[in-house]
Amino acid sequence: MEQISEQVKSLVLEYFSIINAQVSETNGLFDIIIPSEHERIFRKENLKITFDENKEERNYELVLPGSSILSRILNQCIDFGPVVTAKLNSNQHNSPIIRFYFYTIFESVKSKTELIHVDVDIKTQKIVDIDESDINFENNPIIENIPADVIDDCFIEVVDHVEKIMKVSIQDFKNEISVLMNEEMKNINSEYEKRQKEIQDKSIILQSKGESGTKFQKVIDDAMQAKNNMEIDKKSLNNKYKITIDFALASAIILIND
């Protein structure tokens, strides 16, 4: 969770830097003045946020995956696909690194989001692992002339990798939804069995009294209706518990070791 929080923090602060917002921090509490042209996004000119779950300041909103502020920022990032630069303080890589941020959205009867990033070496187009401590986000060197086809190749490599690293999370979400669906299926079957028992008991009573005709037909109709209702409810479960998973490119950072 700490790693996700740091990723969210990096992305959010980078966004506010891009839109020239005024950001001040005091012990992990951030006061942000939003430029007038961007106030419509947040519906206010001042924001008070924190990325630390241990902070209990009432007026400061915790920004983590799923928060409204992060959702608004990610939607803006998706629209204009920001690419910024940062200084890479590491001698392990001689060529620039592109860090792609992805916003993963899991949707069904419940939803969740995850923010992940993948680093790729521009020269080798291989996935690498850059430590957060090696990145200086306050230093924004000039971007080198990187061919568009190279960036495209890096992105393709990253997309394939994202699907691999998200495989466990995706399966966990599917399992979670499957459990909920099975529970509802059991409830439907239980209600049907209960209704069938009531109808059967009523039928036995009518038979013992020698009843026939309209009353007995009504019992038969009730039994058929209960069965039809059960079939309809079961079919609706597939739509109700349908799972969609989307990967959205939120932003990209070019890390330069000059």
Point out the domain boundary residue: 35, 51, 80. 80
pLDDT in tens, 68-92: 787 777 666 555 555 678 888 877 7
> Does 134 fall in a domain?
no
Number of domains in the chain: 2
> Does 5 fall in a domain?
yes
| Residue in the block written with tokens 């939607």 | 75
| Residue in the block written with tokens 């506010």 | 16
> Does 3 fall in a domain?
yes
Q: 257 vs 40, 55, 166, CA distance in Å? A: 37, 35, 29
pLDDT in tens, 139-151: 878 776 777 677 7
Greater confidence (240 vs 77) lies with 240
Point out the domain boundary residue: 47, 80, 113. 80
Phi and psi for 50 in degrees, rounded to 5?
A: -150, 155
Considering only 43-57, 65-79, 122-136, 214-228, which range has the smallest mean pLDDT?
65-79
> Does 128 fall in a domain?
no
Residue 258 has a pLDDT of: 67
Residue 22 domain boundaries: 1-80
Determine the 3-state secondary structure of 141 from DSSP.
coil
> Does 65 fall in a domain?
yes
Point out the domain boundary residue: 80, 96, 127. 80
pLDDT in tens, 183-199: 999 988 888 888 888 77
> Does 153 fall in a domain?
no
Cβ atoms of residues 108 and 241 within 8 Å = yes
